[in-house]
Structure 1
Amino acid sequence: MNKLPLQTRVQILTMLCEGSSMRSISRVTGVSINTVTKMLVDAGEACAAFHDATVRNVPSKAVQCDEIWSFSYAKAKNVKFAKAAPADSGDVWTWTAIDADSKLIVSWHVGDRGARTGTAFMHDLKARLANRVQLTTDGHKAYLKAVLDAGFDADYAMLNKIFATDYAGPGRYSPPKCIGAIKNPIMGNPDPALINTSFAERQNLTMRMSMRRFTRLTNAFSKKFENHCHALSLYFFFYNFCRVHKTLGATPAMASGLVDHVMKMEDAVTLIDKRSAPGLRGPYKKRVVEGSGEDPVNSN
């Protein structure tokens, strides 16, 4: 099988993590859009497997969780009007858990915004931590059931923000002005000084700036749910293991003690080649529809 030169493969993966669209990557690198898509799929599967095996026994003091919205094929309100929309079309929520000190994305999960998806997310997060932590989420009610159902032994608190009601108006796009926040201890003995979701929310902004399919007010979106998951797998590998955090002077994975060096995109190519052996590849599961009784979606 013919392979692209290493430099071209690295360039494609790097551009995918730096906010370039797949068609712009195709134009810049001189390869077909199908080749770029295949690179995304291969990298997504390899990086997801690497994250699953490597991000274990994470020493953490405080973990912040949040969820970020996007959509696949069409927004939920437009799916019924879309032509030949796949079964997994509509709103897609990415749940993330970030370590407040190392800025490591400990766990991420893709699905809807319901309690069942939240429970699967909390189960995965719990399995990756080395010790009891202080957990902070926003006021989304699904977290209450998810933390309890997962048996998460943590000092847990919710941060409920208060928004101004006079800021909204016809055609408003920017979020309403935050005029305060209430810290609500839920379980254990959370330290008030650590009840915060700022790092998780800033990470959401980084995701929107780094992945073209998350950019608002454009025609950039995921045409397939599976490719949405692949893009996230590649991005979190790049964020955790390759990109040096300016305030830390190291990658989040180095700050957490998971690795001892800055990894490169060449390492992602190596992971792809190792995973190309027969029997190692496997497709992503489709997302859970709340109450459908289907298997859980990807958790990494």
Structure 2
Amino acid sequence: MCEEPLERVCPTCGSEQVIKNGSTHNGKPKYQCKICGHQFAIDPTNSPVSEETKQLIDRLLLEKISLRGIARVTQVRWSWLQDYVNQKLSQIPRQVKVSAKPLGKLVIECDEMWSFVDSQKNEVYICLAIDRNARKIVGCFVGDRTRKSARKLWASLPEIYQQFAFAYTDFWQAYKTVIPPKRHKAVDKETGLTNHVERLNNTFRQRVSRLVRESLSFSKKLNNHIGAIWYFIHGYNAELD
């Protein structure tokens, strides 16, 4: 007696409008939903990843562990992890929200940190602004080291910081063209007036594996690089709440 064929229904949206889309590594046919685009196999060999494992992965992404290492620790498929992380990073908000007006005088420190994407010849600078009193990151832009990037960093700040904050920076000339002169002072490292943001750069390199100078965990795509940085920023700020 023949068994009834398994129903071809998208597990994500429940649509029956699915088409064949190749096969898995072990020969099982794959399908793709014409409605939501989700790809799946019927009766897959690999069991779905639990919410508990996903939460663990979310926490591990905030530590200096490569994606290969996370896959080994959590025992998930490498291809699944890549897709999961890529989707998560693409959805990360790329601006800091301030829920209430900070108390006292607003003082920020700004600095730039070198990184790269795909090749060390492809330099990418991470421009950061930190609230000196709250120690939270309040602004970030990832790009080159030009006047445009300085403008983007300033634009990433919540409006209250753009209007009232006093800024200490290094002597990168681009800052002078962006920050109001009466609320800006360029200083040497020896003054200690940018110690907090410089220390933050070290924290980034200690916690984000793709920012280590000599690393096999570097980003291959700029969007993932930017997403990973903002993912860490939100996680870092949440730890200070």
> With structure 2 as the length reference, what TM-score do the two structures score?
0.73
Contact map agreement 2:90 2:223 (CA 8 A) in 1: no
Task: Determine which of 189, 193, 212 is the counterpart of 1:196.
Answer: 193
2:32 paired residue number: none
1:26 paired residue number: 71
Alignment of 1:106 onto 2:145 = no
1:155 paired residue number: 183
Q: By how many angstroms is 1:110 displaced?
A: 0.6
CA distance in 1, matches of 2:86, 2:178: 30
Change (3 A) 1:221 1:133: same
Contact map agreement 2:66 2:209 (CA 8 A) in 1: yes
2:156 paired residue number: 124
Please list, as runs of the form range in 1=range in 2, the aligned pairs for 1:1-300 lying within 5 A after superposition: 1=11, 4-48=49-93, 51-52=95-96, 54-55=97-98, 59=102, 61-76=106-121, 90-125=122-157, 127=159, 129=161, 132-147=164-179, 152=180, 155-161=183-189, 180-181=190-191, 196-241=193-238, 243=239, 251=240, 254=241
For the aligned residues, what is the CA RMSD?
2.3
What whole-Å deviation, never above 9, does each CA across 1:21-68 have from its counterpart, x for those lacking one?
01010111111223222332333233316x45x336652621001111
Contact map agreement 2:98 2:158 (CA 8 A) in 1: no
Contact map agreement 1:96 1:108 (CA 8 A) in 2: yes
CA distance in 2, matches of 1:223, 1:140: 28
> With structure 1 as the length reference, what TM-score do the two structures score?
0.59
The answer for unaligned runs of 5 or more in structure 1 is 77-89, 162-179, 182-194, 244-250, 255-300
Contact map agreement 1:116 1:146 (CA 8 A) in 2: no
Change (3 A) 1:220 1:117: same
- Tell me the secondary structure at the aligned position of residue 17 of structure 1: coil
2:39 paired residue number: none
Deviates more, 1:9-18 or 1:57-66: 57-66
CA distance in 2, matches of 1:34, 1:203: 32
Q: By how many angstroms is 1:154 displaced?
A: 5.5
- Tell me the secondary structure at the aligned position of residue 149 of structure 2: helix
Q: By how many angstroms is 1:238 displaced?
A: 0.7
Change (3 A) 1:225 1:130: closer
What whole-Å deviation, never above 9, does each CA across 1:211-253 have from its counterpart, x for those lacking one?
0001122333111111101111211111011x2xxxxxxx2xx
Q: By how many angstroms is 1:119 displaced?
A: 1.0
Percent of aligned positions that are identical: 27
With a CA cutoff of 8 Å and minimum separation of 6, indicate the structure with the bigger relative contact order: 1
The answer for unaligned runs of 5 or more in structure 2 is 1-10, 13-47
